[in-house]
């Protein structure tokens, strides 16, 4: 039996938003599974509304379906109501494209973009009838694969995932397809272990069962390959030139409303602003811009094909794209011939230049304006290398209020390294001043202050830092709320308890797998949904495994400590990261190597890559207003620490 639809259909009458499970989006495919073709089920382990727009998944879906030797379908985590109905009626997890059982696929591949979805991966496997632990799977079970940013520390999920893909997936999915096809065609030499061993030789693929992990008491001693043909360190994969990968060509248009419900076109990958808390920036270096002409074509074709009237130009910092101002003004003024389109630029920098772009955009559609200074004082922003002065912020918000915005949103992190109460109160000070600036233009001026607790991530200079505990984060958030009471600033915050659980998984080692399994068995799915999250489940699971949560979360790591992800390489030299960590403690900034000389973090030099940037001069406002002259040999008022800082 191939299609489960006749068994799924009656269940849909009783669930919320049944259209989550019907597929049929414009751009979706109905692949024909042929003998000899390797079938992939690409799963986003969260709701359809969150998972469908994921560009990484859509890109791989197209690339695989274009191959003669592969087919790809999609699936998303069923919401609790359908999960219960599937179990009650013994219907397995299915693909939304042809409603085929997940266990009928050769490969079930998950996108892991955040730690709190980890338990949903277990839930999906269990619903699929696939044993959740790698060691329990037999030769006939699908291969379980995971990719996405969170896999840069794969260890917490190492018990459940057969093979991780580290870095850009465009190339390795093809190589893995060939590897599986060869193994299947050759009579499955060596059984499942034979396949895993072969996959371990594919560059960028990490097969945890091929490594032994040793502990000395609570301390991780080593992670070493079991065989000589298994690499000691797995290097990330990087697409050298985005121009070769104009995907998605047929972006999916969902039938129901989803997040980011618009055309998305990726401007560039990578970011070298060097914000020290930002894992995405660190692990995606160097910067690779898409040629402007290709961007224009993708926007024009995409709008025509999808019928969307809004396009998001995506990247980690879209205002840094060479010629962004011309591109935006051409789109807004219909120079590409697609009528009135709304343009959105996620992650704007904090400066007057970006407000200029934003006001151009709002000719078509007024959208919210969010700035992310991240730290409450200049000193702290030097620590995190987010070099925004107060003047930058005030002139940016002045620009915004003067051009008709009434509310701006400011995003901050609390619990950053070296943070003191005056830094936290600095957030309140900034917010009050922002409102004051706004009141000059409109009586209704207000601002929203969003506060998130900082979770240190692998492969960043802050990977050694001990995260703030829940009480400390609560104290800081309450201090901020008290200070902003009765003002036009509204404070919103992320639950410090969820931040703590994220901390367990973020820098955990292989022992955390058992904890994740216990949380899942206790019913802890959809952990990023506050109504389903309970820290108690995580703490109980840690206790049951005899693990000390603080050892994993709030403890500072030392320079000589073996980190659980030391055998995974993002290209950043450990020396560079340590040096940048020490520089941060001294509040020393570091410039953007896209426009200034390379300081050899390791990525380009080790992987023979280079920045692909159309303009060799930084965009206007590109210094983030520090007055830093970013031309070669220019004066750099920000203190640099290219050599090791004495500690």
Partner 1 sequence: MRVHFTEFGKVRFISHRDAARAFERAFRIEQLPLAFTLGFSPRPKVSFGLALSVGHESDAEYLDFELAEEIPLEPLAAALSAALPEGIDVPAVVALADRAPALQEAVSAVEWNIELTVDDEVTGTPMITPEIVEHRVEALMAAPTLVLERVRKGRTASEDIRPAFRRMTVLGPTEGGILVGVELATRPMSVRPAELVAALGSEFREGRVRRTRQWIERGSERLDPLAADPRIALEARAS
Positions in the binding site for partner 1 (CB under 8 A): 5, 12-13, 18-19, 21-24, 26, 253, 255-257, 303-309, 339, 365
Pairwise CA distance, residues 7 & 91, whole Å: 7
112 touching ligand SF4, by CB under 6 A: no
- Smaller CB distance to partner 1: residue 99 or 290? 99
| Chosen from ligand SF4, partner 1, none, partner binding at 593 (C-beta under 5 to 8 Å by type) | ligand SF4
C-alpha closest to that of 164 among 220, 225, 112: 112
Query: Which residues in 605-634 contact ligand SF4 (CB under 6 A)?
Result: 605
Q: Are 236 and 569 in contact (CB under 8 A)?
A: yes
Nearer to ligand SF4, 544 or 632 (CB): 632
- Smallest gap from residue 629 Cβ to ligand SF4 (A): 18
* Upstream peptide bond of 286 is cis (omega within 30 degrees of 0): yes
Out of partner 1, ligand SF4, none, what residue 193 binds, judged by CB under 5 to 8 A for its kind, is none
- Do 302 and 265 contact (CB within 8 A), yes or no? yes
- x-marked contacts with ligand SF4 along 575-594 as a string, rule CB under 6 A: ------------------x-
The DSSP string of 192-233 is HHHHHHHHTTSTTEE-GGGEEEEEETTEEEEEEESSTTS-SS
Q: Which of 30, 326, 63 is nearest to 172 (CA)?
A: 63
Quote the least distance from Cβ 271 to ligand SF4, whole Å: 10
Q: Could you tell me which of 291, 266, 270, 292 has the C-alpha nearest to residue 282?
A: 270
Residue 330 is inside which H or E element, if any? helix 324-332
**CA distances in angstroms from 644 to 85, 178, 580, listed in the order given:** 59, 45, 8
Cβ at position 21, least distance to partner 1 in Å: 8
Select the span of 171-179, 307-315, 337-345, 603-611 touching ligand SF4 (CB under 6 A): 603-611
Nearer to ligand SF4, 256 or 604 (CB): 604
Q: Is the CB of residue 106 less than 8 Å from the CB of residue 141?
A: no
- The distance in angstroms from the start CA to the end CA of the chain is 66
- Sequence-ordered list of residues with C-beta below 8 angstroms from that of 543, at least 6 positions apart, any chain: none
> How far are the Cα atoms of 117, 413, 476, 553 from residue 494, in angstroms, in the given order?
16, 10, 12, 17
Q: Do β-strands 211-216 and 446-453 pair in parallel, antiparallel, or remain unpaired? A: unpaired
Q: Is 620 exposed, middle or buried (0-12, 13-18, 19+ CB in 10 A)?
A: middle
Token readout for 256 is 């129901």
Closest CA to 151 of 462, 550, 457: 457
- Smallest gap from residue 256 Cβ to partner 1 (A): 5
Contact string 237-276 vs ligand SF4 (x = CB under 6 A): -----------------------------------x----
Q: Which range, of 36-44, 58-66, 596-604, 620-628, touches ligand SF4 by CB under 6 A?
A: 596-604
Residue list 286-305, contact with ligand SF4 (CB under 6 A):
286
CB of 538 to ligand SF4, least distance (A): 36
Minimum distance, C-beta of residue 22 to partner 1, in the bound complex (Å): 4
Residue from 236, 269, 285, 288 that binds ligand SF4 (CB under 6 A)?
285
Residue 645 interacts, among ligand SF4, partner 1, none and using kind-specific CB cut-offs from 5 to 8 Å, with: none
Which residue, 120 or 362, has its beta carbon nearer to partner 1? 362
* Residue with Cβ nearer partner 1 (249 or 555): 249
Name the minimum Å distance from CB 559 to ligand SF4.
21
When binding is defined by CB under 6 A, the residue of 94, 211, 526, 599 that contacts ligand SF4 is 599
18 or 291: CB nearest partner 1: 18
Q: Is 309 or 429 the residue whose CB approaches partner 1 more closely? A: 309
124 binds ligand SF4 (CB under 6 A): no
Comparing CB distances to partner 1, the nearer of 26 and 34 is 26
Query: Is residue 598 within the footprint of ligand SF4 (CB under 6 A)?
Result: yes
644 binds, among ligand SF4, partner 1, none (CB under 5 to 8 A by kind): none
Mapped onto helix, strand or coil, the DSSP state of residue 534 is: coil
Residue 326 vs residues 29, 330, 351, 366: alpha-carbon distances, Å: 35, 6, 17, 19
Q: Which is nearer to partner 1, 340 or 647 (by Cβ)?
A: 340
Alpha carbon distance 81, 487 (integer Å): 42
Would you tell me which residues interact with ligand SF4 (CB under 6 A)? 272, 285-286, 593, 598-605
């Amino acid at each position: 039996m191939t299609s489960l639809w006749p068994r799924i259909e009656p269940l849909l009458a009783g669930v919320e938003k049944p259209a989550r499970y019907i597929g049929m989006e414009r751009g979706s495919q109905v692949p024909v599974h042929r003998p000899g073709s390797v079938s992939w089920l690409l799963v986003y382990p969260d709701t359809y509304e969150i998972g469908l727009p994921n560009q990484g998944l859509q890109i791989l879906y197209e690339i695989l379906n274009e191959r003669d030797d592969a087919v790809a379908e999609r699936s998303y985590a069923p919401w609790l109501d359908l999960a219960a109905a599937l179990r009650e009626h013994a219907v397995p997890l299915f693909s939304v494209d042809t409603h085929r059982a997940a266990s009928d696929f050769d490969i079930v591949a998950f996108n892991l973009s955040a730690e709190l979805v980890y338990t949903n991966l277990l839930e999906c496997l269990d619903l699929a009838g696939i044993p959740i632990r790698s060691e329990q799977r037999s030769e006939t079970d699908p291969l379980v694969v995971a990719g996405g940013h969170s896999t840069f520390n794969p260890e917490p999920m190492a018990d459940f995932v057969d093979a991780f893909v580290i870095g850009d997936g465009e190339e390795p999915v093809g190589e893995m397809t060939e590897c599986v096809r060869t193994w299947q065609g050759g009579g499955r030499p060596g059984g499942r272990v034979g396949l895993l061993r072969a996959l371990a030789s594919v560059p960028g693929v990490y097969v945890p069962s091929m490594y032994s992990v040793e502990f000395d008491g609570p301390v991780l001693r080593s992670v070493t390959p079991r065989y000589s043909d298994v690499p000691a360190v797995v290097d990330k994969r990087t697409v050298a030139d985005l121009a070769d990968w104009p995907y998605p060509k047929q972006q999916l248009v969902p039938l129901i409303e989803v997040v980011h419900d618009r055309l998305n076109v990726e401007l560039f990958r990578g970011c070298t602003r060097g914000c020290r808390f930002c894992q995405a920036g660190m692990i995606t270096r160097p910067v690779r811009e898409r040629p402007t002409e290709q961007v224009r074509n993708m926007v024009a074709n995409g709008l025509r094909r999808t019928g969307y009237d809004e396009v998001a130009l995506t990247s980690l910092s879209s205002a840094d794209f060479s010629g962004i101002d011309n591109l935006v003004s051409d789109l807004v003024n219909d120079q590409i011939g697609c009528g009135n389109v709304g343009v959105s630029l996620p992650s704007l920098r904090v400066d007057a230049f970006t407000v200029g772009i934003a006001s151009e955009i709002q000719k078509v559609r007024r959208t919210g304006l969010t700035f992310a200074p991240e730290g409450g004082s200049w000193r702290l922003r030097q620590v995190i290398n987010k070099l925004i002065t107060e003047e930058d912020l005030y002139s940016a918000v002045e620009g915004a209020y003067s051009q008709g915005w009434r509310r701006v949103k400011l995003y901050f992190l609390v619990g950053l390294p070296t943070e003191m109460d005056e830094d936290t109160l600095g957030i309140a000070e900034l917010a009050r001043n922002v409102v004051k600036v706004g009141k000059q233009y409109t009586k209704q001026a207000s601002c929203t202050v969003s506060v998130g607790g900082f979770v240190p991530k692998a492969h960043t200079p802050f990977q050694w830092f001990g995260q703030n505990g829940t009480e400390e984060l609560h104290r800081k958030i309450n201090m901020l709320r008290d200070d902003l009471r009765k003002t036009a600033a509204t404070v919103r915050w992320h639950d410090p308890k969820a931040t703590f659980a994220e901390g367990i998984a973020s820098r955990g080692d292989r022992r955390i797998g058992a904890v994740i399994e216990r949380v899942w068995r206790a019913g802890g799915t959809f952990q990023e949904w506050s109504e389903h999250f309970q820290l108690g489940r995580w703490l109980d699971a840690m206790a049951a495994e005899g693990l000390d949560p603080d050892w994993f979360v709030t403890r500072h790591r030392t320079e000589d400590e073996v980190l659980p992800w030391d055998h995974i390489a993002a290209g950043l030299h450990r020396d560079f990261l340590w040096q940048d960590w020490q520089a941060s403690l001294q509040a020393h900034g570091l410039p953007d190597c896209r426009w200034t000389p390379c300081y050899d973090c390791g990525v380009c030099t080790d992987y023979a890559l280079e920045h692909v940037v159309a303009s060799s001069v930084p965009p206007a406002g590109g210094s983030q207003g520090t007055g830093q002259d970013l031309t070669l040999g220019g004066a750099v008022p920000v203190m640099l620490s290219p050599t090791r800082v004495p500690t």
